[in-house]
């Protein structure tokens, strides 16, 4: 091990403290708490909260059903629009979506806690495995879904409900995509991601093939020849690089890879953790890796972001979560160089600002930070998949309003789409919209 990694070790905190640090970020509401919160809803006729929801959930409708103790009906209202409504209740940035649009969201008041109410309604469904949907009569059509993340699972479930047979091809051993491998552990406790996957598959008509990758075990053309339609929900598997010398030094790591290891670990105390951690990036992944490093026992954690707080991809809530967890956020700095010293890694950060033309430029000022680990969290990109014949833009798939690609019989959605928003809820909507379009195409010949 290099000198830069001598201070990276497991067991910085005891089991009890780690368990506390990784307990549920938003504990569920009790019945009385849920009823009190539901009573705060004005049940607006035009429902700006519903308009703000990417999946179009009838939010006043499901809250009204909570008030009348009809949790099964409330859950169905949610899940018929967003089959991953349970996970979205945990990870959705509600503070910039439905809750921001809530008419109670004023200086004198606070918005209705829609996310927690959504979880209150849906949790019993997954705990009891209550099947709220049934399959239509078989159409005899078969659809291939590439990718078992939120977009692929949403598409597969809706197609199965509509009577089509679906085969999901997934690179990883587990389905769920970033819900399983890429979201902070304190947001989805008790193996909820996989319990939700199990519920989705329980509708029937969905075959799963894991450990297979596009371009290795099968090609897009082979699927087009074998199936009546294809949906691509690949996500973004490749990590963007910093473009600096020494980026391959031991201790310079991908945030996504570390979060993946953390999520699959049976003992968080066994994960190696640096004392001094620097995270490059400003999105949700940057916040997740920074906060989790701190909760695993890192003493100093710093996020370095090239722009200001208002431009960070992470929501204001997530930024505050990082700061209240002891993470320092430095704005207006860009990484200039990485070097190895006797005291670990050294990263030089150069000051940045917006020029008169609105473009980012450096100021000439710089500072250095010492670190045991430097995490790269500056976004992801599609891997080198063979998608010959499909129109691409900025390295992603171009789709129309129905999520159809330029290749006949092929639809796509989620993060791999050119307008992908890196949100579970948006990926679910893409899969749902594509499934409805595929169903219409298959029935119309």
Tell me how far apart the alpha carbons of residues 405 and 320 are, in angstroms, rounded to a whole number. Answer: 39
Which tens digits make up the pLDDT trace of 348-363?
999 999 988 989 999 9
**Same domain? 344 vs 252:** yes
Beta-sheet pairing, 229-232 with 142-146: parallel
Domain boundary, last residue among 88, 104, 128: 128
**Same domain? 258 vs 363:** yes
Residue 367 contacts by C-beta under 8 Å, 6 or more apart in sequence?
A: 333, 348, 349
**Same domain? 187 vs 262:** no
Tell me how far apart the alpha carbons of residues 349 and 366 are, in angstroms, rounded to a whole number. Answer: 5
Quote the domain boundaries for residue 66. 31-128
**Same domain? 370 vs 277:** yes
- Dihedral sign computed on CA atoms, order 179, 185, 191, 195: negative
**Same domain? 37 vs 55:** yes
**CATH code for the domain of 251:** 3.50.50.60
**Same domain? 178 vs 296:** no
**Same domain? 293 vs 306:** yes
Give domain status of residue 186, yes or no. yes
Domain boundary, last residue among 128, 158, 183: 128
Give domain status of residue 305, yes or no. yes
**Same domain? 354 vs 243:** yes
**Same domain? 254 vs 150:** no
The length of the chain, given as a count of residues: 445
Give domain status of residue 2, yes or no. no
Contact indicator for 360, 307 with CB cutoff of 8 Å: yes
Cα angle value 433/436/438 (rounded, 5°): 105
Give domain status of residue 12, yes or no. no
Give domain status of residue 424, yes or no. yes
Domain boundary, last residue among 336, 359, 376: 376
Which tens digits make up the pLDDT trace of 32-42?
999 999 999 99
**Same domain? 206 vs 107:** no
Beta-sheet pairing, 206-210 with 229-232: unpaired
**CATH code for the domain of 96:** 1.10.1060.10
Give domain status of residue 428, yes or no. yes
Q: How many domains in the chain?
A: 3
Q: With helix as H, strand as E and coil as C, how does the chain read?
A: CCHHHCCEECCCCCHHHHHHHCCCCCCCCCHHHHHHHHCCCCCCCCCHHHHHCCCCCCHHHHHHHHHCCCHHHHHHHHHCCCCCHHHHHHHCCHHHCHHHHCCCCCCCCCCCCHHHHHHHHHHHHHHHCCCCCCCCCCCCCEEEEECCCHHHHHHHHHHHHCCCEEEEEECCCCCCCHHHHCCCHHHCCCCHHHHHHHHHHCCCCEEEEECCCECCCECHHHHHHHCCEEEECCCCCEECCCCCCCCCCCCEEEHHHHHHHHHCCCCHHHCCEECEEEEECCCHHHHHHHHHHHHCCCCEEEEECCCCHHHCCCCHHHHHHHHHCCCEEECCEEEEEEEEECCEEEEEEEEEEECCCCCEEEEEEEEEEEECEEEECCCEECCCCCCCCCCEECCEECCCCCCECCCCCEEECHHHECCCCCCHHHHHHHHHHHHHHHHHHHHCC
pLDDT at 358: 86
**Same domain? 248 vs 365:** yes
**pTM, to two decimals:** 0.94
| Phi-psi region at 395: left, alpha or beta (left = phi > 0; alpha = psi -120 to 50) | left
**Same domain? 280 vs 298:** yes
For the chain, 445 residues long, the average pLDDT of each consecutive 10-residue run is 65 96 95 97 96 98 97 98 97 95 95 98 94 96 97 98 98 95 95 97 97 93 97 88 94 96 96 97 96 98 97 94 97 96 94 92 94 95 81 92 97 92 94 98 91
Give me the percent of the chain exceeding a pLDDT of 70.
Answer: 98
User: Chain-wide mean pLDDT for the chain?
Assistant: 95
Report the 10 Å Cβ neighbour count for 334. Answer: 20
pLDDT at 225: 97
Give domain status of residue 56, yes or no. yes
Give domain status of residue 58, yes or no. yes
Tell me how far apart the alpha carbons of residues 47 and 321 are, in angstroms, rounded to a whole number. Answer: 29
pLDDT at 388: 80
């Amino acid at each position: 091990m290099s000198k830069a990694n001598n201070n990276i070790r497991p067991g910085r905190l005891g089991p009890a403290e780690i368990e506390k640090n990784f307990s549920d970020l938003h504990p569920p509401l009790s019945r009385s708490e849920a009823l009190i919160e539901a009573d705060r809803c004005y049940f607006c006729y035009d429902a700006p909260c519903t308009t703000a929801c990417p999946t179009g959930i009838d939010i006043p409708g499901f809250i009204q059903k909570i008030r009348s103790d009809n949790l099964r009906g409330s859950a169905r209202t949610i899940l018929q629009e967003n089959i991953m409504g349970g996970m979205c209740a945990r990870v959705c940035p509600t503070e910039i979506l439905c809750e921001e649009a809530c008419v109670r969201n004023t200086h004198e008041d606070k918005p209705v806690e829609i996310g927690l109410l959504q979880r209150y309604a849906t949790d019993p469904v997954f705990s009891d495995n209550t099947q709220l949907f049934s399959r239509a009569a078989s159409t005899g059509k078969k659809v291939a879904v590439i990718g078992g993340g939120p977009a692929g699972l949403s598409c597969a479930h809706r197609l199965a409900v509509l009577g089509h047979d679906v085969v999901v091809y997934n690179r990883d051993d587990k389905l769920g995509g970033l819900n399983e491998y890429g979201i902070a552990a304190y947001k989805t406790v008790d193996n909820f991601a996989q319990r939700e996957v199990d519920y989705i598959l329980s509708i029937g008509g969905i075959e799963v093939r894991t450990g297979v990758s596009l371009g290795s075990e099968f090609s897009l053309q082979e699927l087009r020849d074998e199936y009546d339609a294809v949906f691509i929900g690949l996500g973004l598997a490749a990590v963007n690089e910093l473009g600096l010398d020494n980026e391959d030094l031991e201790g310079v790591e991908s945030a996504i890879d570390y979060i993946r290891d953390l999520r699959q670990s049976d003992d968080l105390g066994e994960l190696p953790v640096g004392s001094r951690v620097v995270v490059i990036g400003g999105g949700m992944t940057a916040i997740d890796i920074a906060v989790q490093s701190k909760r695993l026992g890192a003493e100093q954690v710093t996020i370095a972001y090239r722009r200001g707080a208002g431009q960070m991809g992470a929501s204001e809530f997530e930024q505050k979560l990082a700061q209240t967890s002891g993470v320092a956020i430095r704005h207006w700095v860009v990484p200039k160089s990485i070097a190895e010293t006797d005291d670990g890694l050294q990263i030089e950060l150069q000051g940045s600002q917006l020029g008169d033309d609105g473009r980012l430029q450096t100021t000439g000022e710089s500072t250095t930070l010492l670190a045991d680990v430097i995490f790269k969290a500056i976004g992801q990109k599609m891997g080198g998949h063979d998608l010959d014949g499909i129109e691409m833009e900025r390295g992603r798939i171009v789709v129309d309003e129905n999520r159809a690609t330029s290749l006949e019989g092929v639809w796509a959605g989620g993060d791999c789409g050119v307008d992908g928003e890196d949100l579970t809820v948006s990926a679910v909507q893409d899969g749902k919209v594509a499934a409805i379009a595929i169903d219409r195409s298959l029935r119309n010949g």
